[in-house]
Chains A and B, each alone.
Chain A
Amino acid sequence: MKKAEARLRDLLVGGLGGDAAAYRGFLKDLSAHLRAFLRRRLARLPDEVEDLVQETLLAVHNQRHTYDPGQPLTAWLHAIARYKLVDLLRRRARDDALNDPLDDALELFVASDEDAADARRDLAKLLAELPERQRMPIVHMKLEGLSVSETARRTGQSESAVKVAVHRGLKALARKIRGAV
């Protein structure tokens, strides 16, 4: 568990420094931990698990600038996962399905589950609903793997506008998931 904390923290800190491979490793491991964590807590709502894993991953990504490397990673991740879990349960107004969400932060790394079920909500569809100026930079940069400058050339936006569009687009995607838009 301590090892998972240290390893994931190193990967995230690398990712925050611009190392995309480390960041991918962080998100991949995190998704397995989140899946196990949420599966236990959503025992009565198994269909929601993968959607919530994805929603939480997106939240971690969008809010990654709030991680302070001096802070225990578990506490940060657990607070986000719990926030998204409680938000989901509130949205469903089904608090009775809650097993025990307010538990110890350390539990997040106790288990890991690589066995992903299919998500019910298709993020690709939500992505397609984003306005063009946000969608195209995400498609070029994040799905096709083009560089910022190449994306800027294809979309006719400036490089900083491309970065802003990707950032805002992913935030808008998170809002769409919540049904806020």
Chain B
Amino acid sequence: MKTEELVDLLATGAEAVAPNAVRRRYALALVASVPVAIALMATWLGVRPDLNEAAVEPMFWGKVAFVALLSGAGLMAVARLSRPGASLAVLPGLLAAPVLAMWLAAAAALAGAAPGERMELFLGISSDECALNIAVLSLPVFVAALWAMKGLAPTRLRLAGAGAGLLAGAVAALVYTLHCPESDAPFIGTWYVLGILIPVAAGALLGPRLLRW
């Protein structure tokens, strides 16, 4: 087939394309997967029984804001990485700001604590399971985000996979705040970040293999 004939073939009968494909696809992916993550958290881990009391503490909302901002950064990342040639310049700042803020809060909390209590601020009561729980909860959104990306056009596959992992990890962490009893900044800044990094690493590993087009 000559290139001219291919051009004819592609152009003939080409219909209008619905706009905002990227936004629609990720909206669909999240609508389908976030309820699954919430149901998984509720049945497997359970909503913390003292949620109502916790919801008046500033640090609870600090934790929620932290992972909500990272979820927003994740959404921005996958949207940009799904579109050839889109600028990624805003992403490092969007990611670094909440993490640095949490680490500053952690440094302040550690500085204000007695030396014997510092380890406790780091480990809380659930440091052995927190990161892994977040990683498991990230699975539904991870699969959905990769599906969405697969139907778009990522050109930097390793980064794109990592972006899908970031979105999945951050949303999972957001869901996990409904279960997690911890509220100390050193804990959140360590174990939440690690939990999010697990799907990020998985995405970076799988991206080049799964996302080719």
Which residues of A approach B to under 8 Å, CB–CB? Answer: 15-18, 20-21, 23-24, 27-28, 31, 35, 50, 53-54, 57-59, 61-68, 71-72, 74-80, 82-83, 87, 105, 116, 118-119, 122-124, 127, 138, 141-143, 145-148, 163, 166, 170, 174, 178, 180
- What separation, in Å, do the CA atoms of A62 and B21 have in the docked complex? 13
Pair A59/B213 contact, Cβ less than 8 Å: yes
- Chain A interface, DSSP helix/strand/loop, else mixed: helix
Q: Which of B2, B12, B22 contacts A66 (CB 8 A)?
A: B22
List the B side residues contacting A79 at CB < 8 Å. 84-85, 155
Pair A116/B3 contact, Cβ less than 8 Å: yes
- What separation, in Å, do the CA atoms of A24 and B5 have in the docked complex? 11
* B12 vs chain A, min Cβ distance (A): 5
User: Given A63-B153, A75-B85, are A123 and B12 also a contact pair (CB < 8 Å)?
Assistant: no
- Summed over the interface, the residue pairs from A and B with CB atoms below 8 Å come to a total of 125
- What separation, in Å, do the CA atoms of A156 and B171 have in the docked complex? 44
Which residues of B approach A to under 8 Å, CB–CB? Answer: 1-4, 6-19, 21-22, 82-86, 152-153, 155, 212-213
* A38 vs chain B, min Cβ distance (A): 12
Pair A122/B84 contact, Cβ less than 8 Å: no
Pair B83/A76 contact, Cβ less than 8 Å: yes
- What separation, in Å, do the CA atoms of A65 and B16 have in the docked complex? 10
User: Given A27-B7, A28-B7, are A80 and B16 also a contact pair (CB < 8 Å)?
Assistant: no
- What separation, in Å, do the CA atoms of A76 and B168 have in the docked complex? 26
Pair A63/B8 contact, Cβ less than 8 Å: no
- What separation, in Å, do the CA atoms of A62 and B213 have in the docked complex? 10
User: Given A64-B17, A180-B212, are A141 and B12 also a contact pair (CB < 8 Å)?
Assistant: yes
Pair B3/A17 contact, Cβ less than 8 Å: no
List the A side residues contacting B19 at CB < 8 Å. 16
List the B side residues contacting A68 at CB < 8 Å. 22, 83, 86
